[in-house]
Amino acid sequence: MISIILFKIVGILGLVFIIIGEVLRRKKQQDLVFIAGGILLCAYSVFLNDLVFIILQVVFTLIAIYDYFKKRTHKEYVK
Mean pLDDT of 3-20: 92
pLDDT at residue 78, as a whole number: 54
Beta carbons within 8 Å of 11's beta carbon, 6+ residues apart: 40, 41, 44, 47
Q: Is the pLDDT of residue 13 over 90?
A: yes
Mean pLDDT of 6-33: 90
Q: Is the pLDDT of residue 75 over 70?
A: no
One-letter amino acid at 45 equals S
